Amino acid sequence: MSHVLTLIADPARAPLSRDMVSTAAAAATQAGAAVSAPDWLAPGEAVDLPFAAPDPARVVAAVALRLAGLALDHAVQPAAGRRKRLLVADMESTIITIECLDELAATLGIRDRIAAITARAMNGEIPFEGALRERVAMLAALPETALEELYRERVRLMPGARALVATMSAAGAATALVSGGFTFFTERVKALAGFDRAYGNRLEIASGRLTGRVVEPIFGAEGKLGRLRALLTEHNLVAEDAVAVGDGANDLPMLLEAGLGVAYRAKPTVAAAARFRIGHGDLTALLFLQGFRHAEFRV
């Protein structure tokens, strides 16, 4: 079979049923696909439907129409080359559950002001670099100790993050965290989640307090894309060998470059532009998209 349709659900909220699988298979068949028997990757959570079709794009459209409104993620890919050899991941609201700048702002009582700017930047409404400078300026004089306090009390991994990194690492993939956030957090999250490397922006600190400035140049969308390309070159890989994941507009260039670029619970403009979207499953959905079975997961 030349392609595979993968269906992924959140089993705690709406388990994947055989009726859902049959509905998807029927839609693919009506779109001209010859569909093979379901291959369950995890009962109630993920299944592969291998198929052959003269027009896979027609299958994608038909399945999306038939499954609209269901709490279900789905993706169509070529069957060959699904397992990737490089993982590049955004950090905030992707690998961890929070936006660190927003939470730092809460300590000064200005969370709503900064969060509004964050939301606009992540949806691509305003340039990331200017938005970062503006938000950091509002944190001037914040004690450096607030960073450690935030990490200790509020930073938590997104469900499935550790399994995603550990499983890909065990399979021989290189892993990198690329963030528009700050190295204070990226280095700690790298160790917490098990990434090989981490990249981010540096806050300027003097006399134990934030100065309100970011050390230039700012690591944004172009930095993430550039790092993806550099890692591909370093490991003698091509774009199709990479999986990239993120939620914001500054992630979109790397999502479009990678062979498997996944918008994870992403902002509307990002979800609309990305080729692959996950809105219901956790981060282990990226493993299912690569054909890993639940029994293969590492933690």
Are 75 and 89 in a shared domain? Answer: no
Q: Is pLDDT of 299 > 90?
A: no
Q: Give me the mean pLDDT over the 186-192 stretch.
A: 98
Average confidence score pLDDT of the chain? 97
- pLDDT (mean) for 263-274: 96
Q: How confident is the model at residue 134 (pLDDT cuts 50, 70, 90)?
A: very high
pLDDT at 1 over 80: no
Of the three residues 51, 80, 109, the one that is the final residue of a domain is 80
Residues 67, 97: one domain?
no
Does residue 146 share a domain with residue 51?
no
> In terms of domains, do 73 and 2 share one?
yes
pLDDT exceeds 90 at position 96: yes
pLDDT tens sequence across 231-243: 999 999 999 999 9
- pLDDT at position 256 is 98
Query: Domain of 20?
Result: 1-80
- Please answer whether residues 190 and 197 qualify as being in contact, where contact means their C-beta atoms are separated by less than 8 angstroms: yes
44 and 129 co-located in one domain: no
Please determine, for residue 289, whether its predicted confidence score (pLDDT) is greater than 90.
yes
75 pLDDT higher than 90:
yes
- In the chain, the number of structural domains is 2
Q: Where does the pLDDT of residue 168 fall: very low under 50, low under 70, confident under 90, or very high at 90 and above? A: very high
Examine the domain organization and report whether 166 and 246 are in the same domain: yes
Does residue 130 sit in the same domain as residue 176? yes
Report the half-sphere exposure of 277 (CA within 13 A, side-chain side). 19
pLDDT for position 177: 98
pLDDT of residue 226: 98
Is the entire prediction scored with pTM above 0.85? yes
Q: What is the pLDDT of residue 263?
A: 98
Range 125-141 average pLDDT: 96
